[in-house]
Amino acid sequence: MEEAPTLETLRLSDYSNHLLSKSNIHFAELPQTVKPKPRRTSTVARPTRSAFRQGNNREEGPRVEDLSEEGLQQVDECSDGAPDNQLLGTSINVHNDKGGKNPEGSKLRPDTWDNVRDAMFSKFVSTSSVRAAIVKGRRDTLYTEIQENIIKHSKQCPTCGFVGKEGNSLLKTAKTLRQQQVLWIGVSYRFIVTVPVRVCPACDSPYSCCPLDVGSLPGSPEEAWNIVRCKEDHIPIWFDLNDLVRFFEAGTNIVRRLSVVKIAEWLDRAHVENGCPSTVPFDKFRKCLGVALRELGYMLCRMSALEELGVELWPTGK
């Protein structure tokens, strides 16, 4: 008589002892049929409809596991066939503080852009003057701040350190030769600032404010760096160092396809939209901006090499 077929298995204990011994199980001992478990209705897969509180009702609703089959069917009927990916709260019944339903309707429908687009356009047109006033106020505030810093740093002679102020034994104030106009360019605005060119009464050296003293970077190595050498009919360019030059210098390294021409076009359009009356030839604007970005890159490379020369912590920040 032939033996009944057997199934070879491995026990978990065999792995702990590093022994792979075999164990025989007769097929007759295995269950021949497995009864399928009863499946619930599809409402079980959507428990979030009754798991949250209903509107402003202070009493917590029933939990899904506490509902019977009839209760789950009632919850599914209240959903009115809403899809599972519907926004939370759109199919929840709204109750008032007294416990009754909202008289205007039992469901909230979310607003779409088609419904609010006309109202948003109307509000956009009606608030145009308010936005224009905000832009002008920010431009005036920035202009005042930069002009005050220029006057502040134009009092001391960089050659001998003489400070032209009242009570000085040499002279009350230094002699002013002229008021040089400089075009200051930032991310959102550009405007003309006045930089005084003075003569020191102590050493008779002409001097002016340095662009780095006011957080700016010159657009040319001669006139924009040393305003004394600038001709009266020329207007040099200063670029905002922190928000503009450093931002786009990092952008050109990260976004390889970001060109100086596109940056200049971007800034030019932003300045026109913000109501900046100062004009500048685009070719000059583009070339000076490219020079400023290049020179900042050179300075940052030299700063990163200072640590190798023995400078710790500053300015690398490590």
- What CA–CA distances, in Å, run from 35 to 20, 27, 38, 59? 33, 18, 9, 41
Give the residue, 50 or 271, on which the prediction is more confident.
271
CA-CA-CA-CA dihedral for 132, 137, 138, 140, to nearest 10 = 120
Q: Which helix (H) or strand (E) holds 260?
A: helix 260-273
Question: pTM for the full model?
Answer: 0.61
**DSSP class of 166:** T
- Report the pLDDT value the prediction gives residue 212, as an integer from 0 to 100: 94
- Band (pLDDT 50/70/90 cuts) for residue 91 is very low
How far is it, in rounded angstroms, from Cα 217 to Cα 212?
Answer: 6
Identify residue 104 by its one-letter amino acid code: E
**DSSP class of 152:** H
Give the residue, 194 or 7, on which the prediction is more confident.
194
Token code pair at residue 189: 């605005």
Give the residue, 264 or 64, on which the prediction is more confident.
264
**Where exactly are the structural domains of the chain?**
45-102, 132-309
Token code pair at residue 300: 């940052």
- Band (pLDDT 50/70/90 cuts) for residue 211 is very high
- Band (pLDDT 50/70/90 cuts) for residue 38 is low
- Report the pLDDT value the prediction gives residue 264, as an integer from 0 to 100: 92
Section 257-267 average pLDDT: 89
**DSSP class of 241:** I
Q: Which helix (H) or strand (E) holds 49?
A: helix 48-51
CA atoms within 13 A on the CB side of 67: 21
Q: Nearest to residue 271, comparing CAs of 183, 182, 188, 191?
A: 188
Write the Ramachandran bin of 215: left for phi over 0, alpha for psi from -120 to 50, otherwise beta: left
Whether 295 contacts 227, CB under 8 Å: no
- 143 burial type by CB count under 10 A (0-12 exposed, 13-18 middle, 19+ buried): middle
Give the residue, 259 or 216, on which the prediction is more confident.
216
How far is it, in rounded angstroms, from Cα 271 to Cα 300?
Answer: 28
Give the residue, 161 or 241, on which the prediction is more confident.
241
How far is it, in rounded angstroms, from Cα 11 to Cα 68?
Answer: 42
The residue length of the chain stands at 318
Residue entry with tokens 């640590």? 307
Q: Which helix (H) or strand (E) holds 8?
A: strand 6-9
pLDDT in tens, 149-160: 999 998 888 888
Identify residue 165 by its one-letter amino acid code: K
pLDDT in tens, 103-151: 555 566 677 888 899 999 999 999 999 999 999 999 999 999 999 999 9
Helix count (H) and strand count (E) of the chain?
A: 8, 7
Section 235-257 average pLDDT: 88
